[in-house]
Structure 1
Amino acid sequence: METTIAKEKSEFRNYEQGDITAAVKEHYRKMRSRQTYDYVQRMKKKYLTFERPMDLWDMMERLNALVDVSDPDLNLPNVIHLLQTAEGLRAEGRPDWMQLVGLIHDLGKAMYLFGSDEDGTSQAEQWGLVGDVFAVGCKFPDSCVYPEFNALNPDSLVDLYNTDLGVYAPGCGLDNLELAWGHDEYLYQVLKNHKDNKIPHAGMVMVRYHSFYPWHTGGAYKQFMTAEDEQYLDWIKDFNKYDLYTKSPKVPDYNELKPYYEPIVEKYLGKGPIYW
């Protein structure tokens, strides 16, 4: 029988531990110094074309080739983390749609299949693909991981972008912010465009904001929040218990679990391909 030693909660998201520190830190240096307001606009225009019909399960399997360089907690192919998250939700009897969100929440990382080193959306260069996201177009908060890299962003020298409000209005709502480009926003937009998508609003919020740690964990960006965003915060904190604390070296059996999740996928996303 395989024995897995569970980590204490305080041991997760430790960005100053062991051999991984240099690689993770370099990832965030690139991300913070290159993800500008203009870059985000270019990536949206380039990648949100919805012209690649692909099967969800095929995309899941292709994540076997991707290890998230920004993650200090798990050095395994990303599809394993998706199964761990979904199974954690299933074990506690959470709704089937939430189990589905757990299963697919990082599926936007499959953007690496048609990404590029230049954009930071490839297997080798992931600074436009993975990692904690932050708002662009306004001042970077100290709640960003490695806040010492904030000053490296060219937008920090632009007066328009270097205030607490930046290009936004007070209370404009999180949905009106431009966030750093990555797998969250990409998958959210893909699902939003998918005609057969029946995932509840709460699930779509979980997809879109689960990596927005400077907000949901760091307490930043309150100047933009609405009453609805307070509900968003509750949803994200609920979901992130499973996203974070189910990470483990124990590897779930993909082929064994797939028959359970197939009808749930069909219920909320239909039978046809999804356009990426």
Structure 2
Amino acid sequence: MKVAADPDPSLVSQPDMEPEAAKDKDSFRNYTSGPLLDRVFATYKLMHTWQTVDFVRRKHAQFGGFSYKRMTVMEAVDMLDGLVDESDPDVDFPNSFHAFQTAEGIRKAHPDKDWFHLVGLLHDLGKVLALAGEPQWAVVGDTFPVGCRPQASVVFRDCTFQDNPDLQDPLYSTELGMYQPHCGLENVLMSWGHDGEAGWGRGRRGPSGAAPLGARGDPPSPTEYMYRMMKFNKFALPPEAFYIIRFHSFYPWHKFGDYQQLCNEQDLAMLPWVQEFNKFDLYTKSSSLPDVAALRPYYQGLVDKYCPGILCW
């Protein structure tokens, strides 16, 4: 089912929450009104102007070596105390609280899946890039494929892409753009952000639109920042965890069913996990903030189990 109207109604059920924390689901992701709308629109306008194929490739080169900082997962969580996401129309408090809210929502609904609890804590840690001097439009917000025409459900699509140079390109401005049909999201170049972007190479078409680049032994595809960081540091998590981290911000796909022309069987098999995670990423947001000090020992134990030590970021 595809929905193209804002505000964004849920396609999945809202998780159980305490009455004082519950919020009408139609009031989440409201991009038509609200006290934060001007800030949110300005962030997306910059994002949709400057997120291009060339920009994303340059960001891979800049951050692909994981030489920004060495720190533990919990130190990264603490850094998010200093970040308020300027693309989020729902909350105006530091992102560290959102990490614990998401994790606790998952823990309540899935008590037997401790790895899933940890994904809730980890999912936005890539936003530390905003504290490394990156502008928020290059870190936060919904992700979308670059190198092809934005589809209907991309936030503010009709009024923010006018100055994006890629949309003047005869290849990049088509529905498939530089990709082969059903090449798989792992081979799609996503906008740069805290999740990063998926691999690029095997699913891309050459300048003539004929053969896919990568078919002639090109180097392996680079992958998104947070996903690659987890792989680089050998996080002992199941494949579902890595997939959720990769694509949880790709709302046009997992929420609205757009970009099906790029998906393969693996994407469709993993989609239910991303949608299940989305319930907690979105609907656990509340001005009733968690007691982080009380929760910290439990999550420190999960970090020690699945991703211990000093990590390269």
Q: Normalized against structure 2, the TM-score is what?
A: 0.82
The equivalences for 1:210-225 within 5 A come to 210-225=248-263
Aligned residue for 1:46? 62
SS in 1 for 2:171: helix
Q: Cα offset for 1:94?
A: 4.9
Aligned residue for 1:118? none
Confirm or deny: 8 A CA contact 1:111 1:183 kept in the other structure.
Answer: yes
1:108 to 117, 126, 132: 126
SS in 2 for 1:16: coil
Confirm or deny: 8 A CA contact 1:144 1:218 kept in the other structure.
Answer: no
One-letter identity of the residue aligned with 1:126: Q
Aligned residue for 1:179? 190
Confirm or deny: 8 A CA contact 2:43 2:87 kept in the other structure.
Answer: yes
Aligned residue for 2:161? 150
Q: Cα offset for 1:253?
A: 1.4
What do residues 215-257 of structure 1 show as CA deviations (whole Å, max 9, x unaligned)?
A: 1112211111111110121111010001000000011111111
What CA distance in whole angstroms lies between the structure 1 residues aligned with 2:78 and 2:30?
A: 28
Q: Cα offset for 1:3?
A: 7.9
Structure number having the greater helix percentage? 1
One-letter identity of the residue aligned with 2:115: W
2:270 to 228, 232, 255: 232
Aligned residue for 1:27? 43
What CA distance in whole angstroms lies between the structure 2 residues aligned with 1:16 and 1:166?
A: 29
Aligned residue for 2:230? 191
**Number of aligned residues:** 265
SS in 2 for 1:159: coil
What CA distance in whole angstroms lies between the structure 2 residues aligned with 1:64 and 1:114?
A: 14
Closer/same/farther in 2, CA of residues 139 and 94 from structure 1, 3 Å limit: farther
Unaligned runs of 5+ in 1: 116-120
Q: Which runs of 4+ in 1 moved over 4 A?
A: none
SS in 1 for 2:31: coil
Aligned residue for 1:169? 180
What CA distance in whole angstroms lies between the structure 2 residues aligned with 1:240 and 1:36?
A: 26
Alignment of 1:254 with 2:272, yes or no, is no
Closer/same/farther in 2, CA of residues 103 and 170 from structure 1, 3 Å limit: same
Confirm or deny: 8 A CA contact 1:68 1:75 kept in the other structure.
Answer: yes
One-letter identity of the residue aligned with 2:52: T
What do residues 56-93 of structure 1 show as CA deviations (whole Å, max 9, x unaligned)?
A: 11111110010000001111100000000001111122
2:138 to 112, 121, 128: 128
One-letter identity of the residue aligned with 1:61: D
Q: Cα offset for 1:151?
A: 2.9
Of the structure 1 ranges 184-193 and 199-208, higher mean CA displacement relative to structure 2 is found in 184-193
Unaligned runs of 5+ in 2: 1-17, 197-224
Confirm or deny: 8 A CA contact 1:135 1:180 kept in the other structure.
Answer: yes
What CA distance in whole angstroms lies between the structure 1 residues aligned with 2:166 and 2:248?
A: 24
Q: Normalized against structure 1, the TM-score is what?
A: 0.93
What CA distance in whole angstroms lies between the structure 2 residues aligned with 1:113 and 1:223?
A: 36
Q: Percent identity?
A: 44
Alignment of 1:85 with 2:99, yes or no, is no
CA RMSD, Structure 1 to Structure 2 (Å):
1.4
Aligned residue for 1:265? 303
One-letter identity of the residue aligned with 1:6: A
SS in 2 for 1:183: coil
SS in 2 for 1:4: coil
Q: Cα offset for 1:129?
A: 0.5
Confirm or deny: 8 A CA contact 1:134 1:212 kept in the other structure.
Answer: yes
